[in-house]
Amino acid sequence: MLSELLRAVPLPPGRIVHATEGAPAFWLSDDPVDAALWRRLDHDGLWPLVLTTSEVDDPGRPWASGEVWHAGNTAPENHDPEQLMAGWWHGLAEPDPDEEELVTDPFGRQWPGLAPPHPQRHDPGEAASRLAESLMTERARLGLVAARRGSDALVAMGWKGPTNYVSDIGRLASVLRSWEDRFGARVVGLESHALLHVSVAAPPVDHEQALRVAAEHFTFCPENVRTSSTIGDYAEELVGSTEWGFWWD
């Protein structure tokens, strides 16, 4: 399928990278590309990603070296994102005796539920293109995945960056699908093994909206919030932001 889709698109030099199991995972450009190519790409069936390495001594890792695998991933549509996040929340919201305040403040231990959809304030494609352009450094390459949405692309390519937290990427992709629908989110890039870049066309516009989104971020990637102390503190960073980044240890 990937090979057939690629034949219909004029592309710079590159090659298909195979996952550990041997199946085609994604196409990878040989060299950096410019934002103009990104904007010309038709997303119908091929999802573009900016794939960046942070390995100075081995710039081929992890993308050119094919450090991806599909085993253990389920389909995103098999999961209910709210049930997933509620379950993660209850597993994470226990008090830490070494901390004066609960990381889930101001919600305490009670899962606040899904944030309501936000009005779209930017064009999703334009927001994604702006973020992609900012990520296109000398260490970045263009990746193309056989998928119709970015959340599904992560499963299709066999990305396993958050495996120390959630090994089934289909579960995280289910949450991303929900963000695509409610917040105009788009998966734009991956950096090294475990840093995910997402653009947002409908960001929270005030602290109240941001609190609910921050609670979801905490379940999706706890380290994001823990570095800010509490959900309340982290929410301040989300107001008006059209770029979300997630890193898993």
Average pLDDT over residues 8-25: 94
Report the distance separating Cα 245 and Cα 197, nearest Å: 5
Structure confidence at residue 227 as a pLDDT band (50, 70, 90) = confident
DSSP state of 143: E
Would you state the pLDDT for residue 99? Answer: 59
Give the torsion sign (CA, 82, 83, 84, 90): positive
DSSP string, 167-226: S-HHHHHHHHHHHHHHH-EEEEEEETTTEEEEEESS---SHHHHHHHHHHHHHH-HHHHH
pLDDT tens per residue, range 137-189: 999 999 999 999 999 999 999 999 999 999 999 999 999 999 999 999 999 99
Residue 56 has pLDDT above 80, yes or no: no
> What average pLDDT does the structure give for the chain?
93
* Residue 229: per-residue pLDDT: 86
* Res 198 pLDDT > 60: yes
Look at the block and give the residue holding tokens 């934002």. Answer: 35
Give the DSSP per-residue string, 55-115.
-SS-TTTTTTTT----TT---GGGS-HHHHHHHHHHHH-SPPTT-SS-TTTTSTTS---PP
pLDDT of residue 54: 77
Residue 96 confidence (pLDDT) above 80: no
- Confidence tier at 220 by pLDDT (50, 70, 90): very high
